[in-house]
Amino acid sequence: MFLNRIDKENLKEFSTLSIISGILMVIAGILAIAKPVAGSLAFVIFLGALFLAAGLVQLYTTFKAHTKSLSAWFKALMLLITGILLLIWPGSGVAAVAILFAAYFFFDAFASFGIALDLKPLSGWWLSLLNGALSFILGIILVIGWPFSSFFTVGIIVGVSFLMDGIVLIYLGWLAKKGAYDEK
C-alpha cells in the first residue's frame, strides 16, 4: 500500500512545496496555452542557452583537465554547436523538440499510470490516471501533426501538461496538508 511506502509526516512536510510548485506550473501552463508560438520559441531559446552554457563549461573543463582527450573536445564542440544552432534557428529547433516531447509524453503517460496504480486506494488517485491519459493523447497529437504544426502544438501541449501537472500537485499537496489521505 502507498502509505506504507511514504511516511505521512513527509507528505505533510512537503505539502506546501507541492502546492507552490503546482501554482507555478498552472501559471506557466496558462501562459503557454495563451501564447503557444511564444512559448515554443521561448522553450527552444532557453534550451539553446542551456546547451551553450554546458558547452562553455565543458570547454573550460577540457582545457583545464583533459587537453589530450579528443572525446572531451568533441563533447564540448557538440554542445556548443547544438546550442548555437538552436539559438540561430529556433524554428527548426521547435520541430526537433516537438518529436522529443512526443517521446516525453509517452513516457510521462506510462509513469502517471503507474503512479495512479500506487495511489489507487487514496483520494485523488484518478487525477494521476487522467494526467496519464492526457499525456498519451498529447504525444499522439504531436506525432500526427509533426513537423508542420510544431510551433503551435509544442506551446499548447506543454501548457496543457504543465496545467494538469500543476493541478495534480496542488490537489495532492492540499490533501497532504489537511491530512485527508484516506483509503476510499
pTM: 0.63
Task: Cell 506525432: give the residue.
Answer: 143
Question: Does a structural domain hold residue 102?
Answer: yes
Q: pLDDT tens-digit profile of 5-37?
A: 556 667 667 788 899 999 999 999 999 999 999
Query: Considering its fold, how many domains does the chain have in total?
Result: 1
Q: What is the pLDDT of residues 36-45, one digit of tens each?
A: 998 888 889 9
Residue 142 belongs to some domain of the structure:
yes
Residue 53 is assigned to a structural domain of this protein: no
**Tens digits of residue pLDDT in 135-158:** 899 889 889 988 888 899 888 877
* DSSP H helical ranges for the chain: 2-5, 8-13, 15-34, 36-65, 70-88, 90-119, 125-145, 150-178
60 within domain boundaries: no
* Residue 74: inside a domain: no
Residue 63 lies in a domain: no
Nearest-angstrom CA–CA distance, 170 and 181: 14
Whether 66 is in a domain gets the answer no
* Domain assignment of residue 146, given as a range: 2-39+94-178
The verdict on residue 98 lying in a domain is: yes
pLDDT, residue 94, reads 93
